[in-house]
Amino acid sequence: METYHIHINGIVQGVGFRPMIYHLAKKLNLNGYVKNDSNGVNVFFNASYDEADAFFKRIKLAAPEKSKIISAKLFRITDQSYVDFTILVQDNNACEKQVLLSPDMALCPDCRAELHDAGNRRYRYPFITCTQCGPRYSIMNGLPYERHTTAMQAFTMCETCKAEYLDINDRRFFSQTNSCVDCGIKLSLYKDASTIIANDTEAVLSHIKNYLRQGKIIAVKGIGGYLLLCDANNLQAIQILRARKYRPSKPFAILYPCIKSVQNSFELNEQEQELLESPAAPIVLLALKQTAFYELAVKGIIPGLERMGVMIPYNPLLDLISNDFGKPLIATSANISGSPIIYKDDDALNYLFEIADCVVSNNREIITPQDDSVVQVSKYTHQQIIFRRSRGYAPSFLDYQPQTKSGILSTGAFLKSSFTLAVNGNVFVSQFLGSGESFESQLMYRQTLEHWLQMYTVKPEVIVADMHPGYFSTEYALELAEKFDAEVKLVQHHEAHFAAVLAENKLLRKKDPVLGVIWDGTGLGTDRNIWGGEFFKYENNQMERVNHFDYFPTVAGDKTALEPRIAALCAVSESGRRPSILKEKFTGAEWNNYHALIRSANLFTSSVGRIFDAVASLLGICDKQSYEGEAAMYLQRAAAAYVDENGFNMDESYVKEWKADGLVPTEVLIRNLLADINSGKPISYIAAKFHYTMVCLPGIIAGDLNIQHICFSGGVFQNALLVDWIKTAYEGKYQLYFHINLSPNDENISFGQLVYDENGIKSKPVVRDTSGRENINKEDINDLYDLAL
């Protein structure tokens, strides 16, 4: 009998692949073994060629639902003899580490049913799992995926669980997270850092229910970190949570017990329901029905907004808590304002009592922290927009195959940090890792990256970073390059955005030119100005900045991003006007000081993000914001009110005379918008007209350049109304491309950096003249690299 080897790679560990192969081999009377290795799943068996080929084909057809195969090969090898078919658990450190990591998966229907079945031995066990659900990525500390390489190593299965684990006919056959109330994870309820109130499951759950009814705030350890819970209809509890968390107006997410309860209170289409019930189980932004106002303190949860982030329980503990309480709960990441999610038990006990009235912990370690993912489906064209890619989606990325097997690390941007690692032919895009401005986020970034490099035993040969020398991600890239003796390469922020959306849509080898519309808040340009309203042409593997919003001054550093009134003052300054509606937003001293700064400004911006802020302030919608994007979201809501009543029926643009015969005229846009304000036009009309102006611009530039393919990236394209309007306006006229499995915001920068470098994309340099708008000389651009070094 001949001997064959099947090698399968992809998301093939922790999804029931070995049990499926074992069942199939037994059915076909084949002898051999299947095992997880660091390079995927390997099967060795005796068979004739026809039997081996049939087995190989049936494996691919029978792949578990949650698996994703990226490569599968059948080899004839040196003959060996096997007497049975088994699952072998044995590490092979000689294997090339290339297996993809499985994401954490939401509670499956079978486990959910058992959780609530009084006759089942896992009835109300808060950590019930099987081969089709439960934590994976968050508990892995080594490869391949086996119990002893996860946080489950600390728990020895009881005889009953072990019997299930070894029973070919059991749903938990070779389930590495298998446990029960007798041998599994234990809850503990703390009233302070050193005092446990209860550690019996039912006692803990009873206390939680009672505390929630009393309006208390509870910190609960979830899959990727701690969550803060309170009654979503108790305005006083919500206000206390906001005060303790220093979160005055940023929206909270809501946890509902089940999909039916969501349907009662929210508009829910098929696509949105699919997302909520998917293995990723993200937070989904939904439109409220009138009934929601009777069971939720809406104004306290989403001040000034129309959509609410909603999720259903993705783990059994949250399922028990929410069903016991029977009403919606606030569910938000447990962190101190500006810091990342808390996931270590010691940190929870040391810091969370500043916010929570009690802390519910458990004795299973979280290896890798993750926030909940956030997704929206746009109202009119049903475009999926990822706001945060984390639990359930990270880290494996199947939409791009690197050109080389050498290790490449890209370190991303600043505010929406992530990193991307290409190793042994695979790409991993990390979960959202917070903002690079806080020390705690920087520490979590370092620990997560070090964990990955250790798991894959990879030494990066090339490290790619943003060209801004002040970003933590750039500084860390230089530190790692020295440590690993790696080559450092710098990529301009917006070109990385463009590379990311090109790669996601498989446009890198396209023969026709592609226009990239890259709009966001900030990114250092090659002319040392702050870019953010960019138009690039991509052709023959080269990017060229073909247009941008005309520059206006930027002053006061990061304060401009926090105070839209300053952005408005800067944008208006180019028109030579000082409208009274703006002056009243400042004290006399502020007014004079900011004008002095503007007159002496030597830094300019083309940022569309700041233009959105400026318009929001001029319309009296928001002058100071407490979280990123707040002003733009209020402006979007004002425009949506007009569109909901009138449809996308607008034929007046604030730059209607512009024919792509120069830079996008920021000053003209603001001057015409001020004229509408002065004439008393409704705020919703002006907000919609501004949105329509932004919709018109890509078409004008694409038409001028005779380009039919347009890509969109940057945080501005989290605006679902803008995306809907663009898709509606250009339907049948242009081929439009948006991000698919990545967020349009800066989370995609690390992936774009890797794509840019790995594909050898070139850029036509932008230089600046002595007027201060387009800088000095070509040699000066090289100083950016020297400055970073």
Q: Which two tokens stand for residue 339?
A: 């810091």
Q: What is the pLDDT of residue 326?
A: 97
Is the pLDDT reported for residue 775 higher than 50? no
- The whole-angstrom separation of Cα 504 and Cα 486 is 27
Residue pair 390/64 in contact by the 8 Å Cβ criterion: no
Lowest-pLDDT choice from 365-374, 713-722, 774-783: 774-783
Other Cβ atoms closer than 10 A to 286 = 24
Q: Go through the chain and tell me how many residues it has.
A: 789
Other Cβ atoms closer than 10 A to 109 = 10
**CA–centroid distance for 90 within its chain:** 35
Residue pair 494/520 in contact by the 8 Å Cβ criterion: yes
**Best mean pLDDT range from 313-327, 576-590, 649-663:** 313-327
Please return the burial class of 241, using the count of CB atoms within 10 Å of its CB with bins 0-12, 13-18 and 19+: buried
Please, which residues bridge with residue 542 across strands?
Answer: 539, 762
Is the pLDDT reported for residue 259 higher than 90? yes
Please return the burial class of 738, using the count of CB atoms within 10 Å of its CB with bins 0-12, 13-18 and 19+: buried
Q: What is the pLDDT of residue 338?
A: 76
Q: Which residues contact 43 (CB under 8 A, 6 or more apart)?
A: 5, 6, 7, 8, 21, 25, 32, 33, 34, 59
- The whole-angstrom separation of Cα 298 and Cα 750 is 36
Residue pair 365/151 in contact by the 8 Å Cβ criterion: yes
Per-residue pLDDT reduced to its tens digit, 413-465: 998 999 999 998 899 999 999 888 889 999 999 999 999 999 999 999 999 99
3-state class of 620 per DSSP? coil
53 dihedral zone (left: phi>0; alpha: psi -120 to 50; beta): alpha
- The whole-angstrom separation of Cα 752 and Cα 766 is 20
Helices (H) and strands (E) in the chain, counts: 26, 30
- The whole-angstrom separation of Cα 168 and Cα 19 is 7
State the amino acid at position 486 in one-letter form.
A
Using the structure block, give the residue that is written with the tokens 């050109």.
Answer: 403
Strand 283-288 relative to strand 374-377: parallel, antiparallel, unpaired? parallel
Q: For residue 11, what is the enclosing H or E element?
A: strand 3-11
**CA dihedral sign, ordered 105, 107, 109, 111:** positive
Per-residue pLDDT reduced to its tens digit, 662-675: 899 999 999 999 99
Using the structure block, give the residue that is written with the tokens 């512009």.
Answer: 658
Give this prediction's pTM: 0.95
- The whole-angstrom separation of Cα 538 and Cα 543 is 5
**Average pLDDT for the chain:** 94
Closest residue by Cα to residue 424 from 22, 37, 112: 37
Closest residue by Cα to residue 436 from 750, 139, 221: 750
Residue 779 pLDDT level (bands cut at 50, 70, 90): very low
Q: For residue 455, what is the enclosing H or E element?
A: helix 439-455
3-state class of 77 per DSSP? strand
Lowest-pLDDT choice from 436-450, 611-625, 748-762: 436-450
Per-residue pLDDT reduced to its tens digit, 161-202: 999 999 999 999 999 999 999 999 999 999 999 999 999 999
Residue pair 216/237 in contact by the 8 Å Cβ criterion: yes
- The whole-angstrom separation of Cα 575 and Cα 771 is 18
Is the pLDDT reported for residue 133 higher than 60? yes
Please return the burial class of 418, using the count of CB atoms within 10 Å of its CB with bins 0-12, 13-18 and 19+: buried
**CA–centroid distance for 624 within its chain:** 26
**CA dihedral sign, ordered 310, 375, 226, 249:** negative
Closest residue by Cα to residue 309 from 279, 337, 276: 276
Strand segments (E) across 217-282: 218-221, 226-231, 253-255, 266-267
Q: What is the pLDDT of residue 93?
A: 64
How does DSSP classify residue 130? B
Q: What is the pLDDT of residue 777?
A: 36
Is the pLDDT reported for residue 773 higher than 70? no
Please return the burial class of 493, using the count of CB atoms within 10 Å of its CB with bins 0-12, 13-18 and 19+: buried
Does residue 126 have a cis bond before it (omega within 30 degrees)?
no
- The whole-angstrom separation of Cα 185 and Cα 167 is 22
Q: Which residues contact 454 (CB under 8 A, 6 or more apart)?
A: none
Per-residue pLDDT reduced to its tens digit, 557-614: 889 999 999 999 999 987 667 788 899 999 999 999 999 999 999 999 999 999 999 9
Please give the residue that has the higher pLDDT: either 88 or 578.
88
773 dihedral zone (left: phi>0; alpha: psi -120 to 50; beta): alpha
Residue 337 pLDDT level (bands cut at 50, 70, 90): confident
How does DSSP classify residue 69? E
Half-sphere exposure of 252 (CA within 13 A, CB side): 32
Is the pLDDT reported for residue 23 higher than 60? yes
How does DSSP classify residue 262? H
**CA dihedral sign, ordered 695, 696, 700, 701:** negative
Residue 366 pLDDT level (bands cut at 50, 70, 90): very high
What value, to the nearest 5°, has the Cα angle with vertex 407 and ends 406 and 413? 140
Please give the residue that has the higher pLDDT: either 788 or 512.
512
Other Cβ atoms closer than 10 A to 624 = 14
- Per DSSP, the residues of 143-212 read SS--GGGBGGGG-PPPHHHHHHHH-TTSTTTT-TT---TTTS--EEEEEETTEEEE-SHHHHHHHHHHHH
Residues 666-686 have a mean pLDDT of 95
Q: What is the pLDDT of residue 788?
A: 39
Strand 3-11 relative to strand 40-46: parallel, antiparallel, unpaired? antiparallel
Query: Measured between alpha carbons, how far is residue 695 from residues 240, 261, 517, 650, 734 in Å?
Result: 41, 37, 11, 11, 13
Q: For residue 497, what is the enclosing H or E element?
A: helix 493-504
- Gyration radius (Cα) of the chain, Å: 28
Per-position b or e across 289-315, b if 16+ CB within 10 A of its CB: eeebeeebbbebbbbebbbbbbbbbbb
Strand 187-192 relative to strand 68-77: parallel, antiparallel, unpaired? unpaired
Long-range (24+ apart) CB contacts under 8 A made by 454-458 are 455/97, 455/140, 455/141, 455/142, 455/143, 456/97, 456/143, 456/421, 456/423, 456/424, 457/97, 458/97, 458/407, 458/421, 458/423, 458/424
Residues 248-276 have a mean pLDDT of 97
